A and B are shown apart, each in its own frame.
Chain A
Amino acid sequence: MMTHTLQTPSDGVIGDYVRSHESFLKELDSEQPSWLRSIRSSGIAHFSEQGFPGTDQEKWKYTNLASLRKTCFPPVAGSEISEEQRVEILSRIPEKLEGERLVIVDGVHCGSLSERSNNLKFQFLPFSSMVKNSDNRVDSYLGRHIRHDQNPIVALNSAFIREGVFLEMPSGLQIEQPLHIFYVDTGKKSGSAVHLRHLFIAGSNSRVEIFEHYISLNESHGFTNVVTEVFVGENASLEHIKWQDQNRTSYHISNLAVAQESGSRFTSHSISTGAAISRNDIHIKLVGERTESFLYGLYLGRGNQLVDHHTVVDHLKPNSESEEIYHGILCEKSHGVFNGRIHVHSEAQKTNAKQSNRNLLLSRDSWIDTKPELEIYADDVRCTHGATVGQMDEQAVFYLRARGIPEPAARRILVGAFAGEITQRIPLASVRQSLQSYLLEELSRIPLEICSR
């Protein structure tokens, strides 16, 4: 990798980031193998060249990062947690969710909260401990499918790369118990950032389920930047469940890049209920033939939340199938953005791609910008897409009321059912139940207005 030399730090926020990066590097002196050093320095170089994307860019048209552009969010480096916080953190873990667990608190792995068994047949490690043990396996994968020269937020993540989860499933190993990655923002340092870098590698014929959960303990104002690279080997199956429920004053930006080999299956469940502004980019590259990809998503907006999903499915080879279903529930003054691109390359004959995005607007002031983008260069393909924006079905509300169910409960049942069409696909019962009761409770607090426009 090329190393970049920085010119004199620029002014404004970019300059602040460059300076913050310098002190970050100084602190890390001992944990800098050369490959990591080069990623970090090229990251800051690319970021300082580009800065945060503006709304003049098509991909960021509806999501304004003005507040991120205003002040620098320096990185936090872990926190001591109190006994009280420890109890709270443990209480937020879905009941009966057993298995391996890595807990990251304020950007640093927390060994005392994690659950790890000895003699695992696979690698499930915090990034930091690998660096400490001079385990350089990460190097050969990092940045292979997600390039930071084209994405300043990924570049920023590379610049401050320090913690994350490394998963490597050897060929043929199929595990039943899910792996849990739990990220906790304690809010100790308001106005700070955490850049997480995950790397999941599923060897051929392996099978694994991963549950990534993001929460905050209080209403501080933080920035979480997650970059995840996933490699799904031949005939392997990887199911990824991500539930982002950070506090509603924070920013959450996530880039997930997936490469699928022949015969593999990848399923993504992206649940967004938290953050003031959240942006999820999911990019799936079907590099092999006969692959299956499922992308499910559910977003709940209330208050002034902005929830943005941008997905791309790149069909590069023949005989692959992709199905995408996203449901949005937008209340109060919240704003949803959905952009789903299906790109069928000329070689990808017999592609079968489906996409649907349905939105419930539950107040006069909520809104959604939804856009499918199909680019098809092969002739023998089946692609369908549809987006709907609507209010609650008043006929159904009446039907429930006419059977004696009070109107507020009737509305909750219907919104719950709409969400349920996504949540019921989550294979982990404990996560599904915890999410469903969370939604039920949230919905009972929000006035579900009747609105005709």
Chain B
Amino acid sequence: MSSETLLEINKLKAGINGQAILKGIDLTVNAGEVHAIMGPNGSGKSTLAQVLVGREEYEVSEGKVTYQGKDLLDMSVEDRAREGVFLAFQYPVEIPGVNGTYFLRAAYNEQRKYRGEEELDAVDFLALVKEKMKVLELPPTLLQRPVNEGFSGGEKKRNEIFQMAVLEPTLAILDETDSGLDIDALKTVAEGVNKLKNSRNAQIVITHYQRLLNYIVPDFVHVLYDGKLIKSGGRELALELEERGYDWVVAEASSTAALAS
């Protein structure tokens, strides 16, 4: 079965202040797929996610990213979001004074406007929110508070997935959404993510723990090391990484590199 290619990353190199972080990434994500990216601290996982959503601090020095046939790197941050790219942040920002529901309705309506659809009024939006809240078992009071302000670590993560549920992105990137979640929250969040999955969208899940992948089952697992994807495999690779760590993958990759040169 050949499905539509959603995202194609070609030889992507990016860095900050002249320091290289991503050193040539190639990755293809088709509709209906779930990809997991694992890798040691500081290997560039979050940088990859941030570059995909358009964080301006990072300079892309080489490579190309095509999303639904369009040049992703050429789009503004807000247009990427409105085209359906969503990042659940590793460290969601606290926004004092901005009410959660107000914020989310503004975001939701911006996306509808972009697609030429009618905006939702407060009443209809509240109905939508209530339905999505049930799925994620989010305490209703969280949305009445300013965005993320004073939220616990786990609440912030759940709020990210809640936003994802409301915005229904085509390409969702989850950056360590599992860290800081207790076991029950992890299950609810994973169930929420799975419910959003369909044949027209895709998910990239960044994690350190194979535990999450018991609930969100990936089609592919990739290892990012020092700015490069050095190994890809099926879900069993995650189990192996959990057991054996990264050293063997690194050794394997450097011997292949040595052979090649």
Contact = CB atoms under 8 A, between A and B. Distances in A.
A295 to B, nearest CB: 19
A15 B147 CA distance: 59
A121 interface: no
Grouping DSSP codes into helix (H, G, I), strand (E, B) and loop, the A interface class, with mixed when no group exceeds half, is helix
Contacts of B12: none
B97 interface: yes
A399 B89 contact: yes
B81 A399 contact: no
B96 interface: yes
A399 B92 contact: yes
A327 B76 CA distance: 32
A49 interface: no
A398 B147 CA distance: 14
B87 A417 contact: no
Given A402-B87, A404-B81, A421 B107 contact: no
Contacts of A312: none
Interface in B88-115: 89, 92-98, 103-104, 106-107, 110-111, 114
B158 interface: no
A401 interface: yes
B97 A400 contact: no
A322 B110 CA distance: 43
B155 to A, nearest CB: 16
Contact of B97 (A398, A407, A409, A417): A417
Interface in A393-425: 393, 395-396, 398-407, 409, 413-414, 416-418, 420-421
A32 B103 CA distance: 59
Nearest to A413: B98
B98 A402 contact: no
B191 interface: no
Interface string A299-337: 000000000000000000000000000000000000000
B98 A404 contact: no
Contact of A420 (B78, B89, B97, B167): B97
A338 B16 CA distance: 39
B201 interface: no
Most chain A CB within 10 A, of B55, B96, B97, is at: B97
B106 A413 contact: yes
A423 to B, nearest CB: 10
A226 B56 CA distance: 50
B13 interface: no
Q: Which of A400, A402, A406 has the most CB of B within 10 A?
A: A402
Contact of A393 (B78, B87, B93): B93
B149 to A, nearest CB: 10
B95 A399 contact: yes
B82 interface: yes
Contacts of B96: 417-418, 421
B51 to A, nearest CB: 12
A403 B97 contact: no
B177 interface: no
A143 B33 CA distance: 78
Contact of B93 (A399, A404, A406, A409): A399
Given A398-B55, A413-B106, A414-B98, A405 B78 contact: yes
A396 B95 contact: yes
B93 A396 contact: yes
Contacts of A403: 81, 103-104, 107, 110, 163, 167
A404 B110 contact: yes
Contact of A395 (B93, B107, B147, B163): B93
Contact of B81 (A393, A402, A413, A417): A402
A244 to B, nearest CB: 23
Nearest to A420: B97
A417 B77 CA distance: 22
B21 interface: no
B99 to A, nearest CB: 8
Given A393-B95, A399-B93, 8 more contacts: A393-B93, A399-B147, A402-B54, A403-B104, A403-B163, A404-B82, A405-B106, A414-B98
12 contacts: A396-B94, A398-B77, A399-B147, A400-B103, A401-B76, A402-B87, A404-B78, A405-B106, A413-B98, A413-B106, A417-B96, A417-B97
Q: Which 10 A-B pairs have the closest CB atoms?
A: A417-B97, A404-B81, A403-B107, A404-B110, A401-B77, A399-B93, A417-B98, A404-B82, A395-B93, A404-B111
Interface of A: 393, 395-396, 398-407, 409, 413-414, 416-418, 420-421
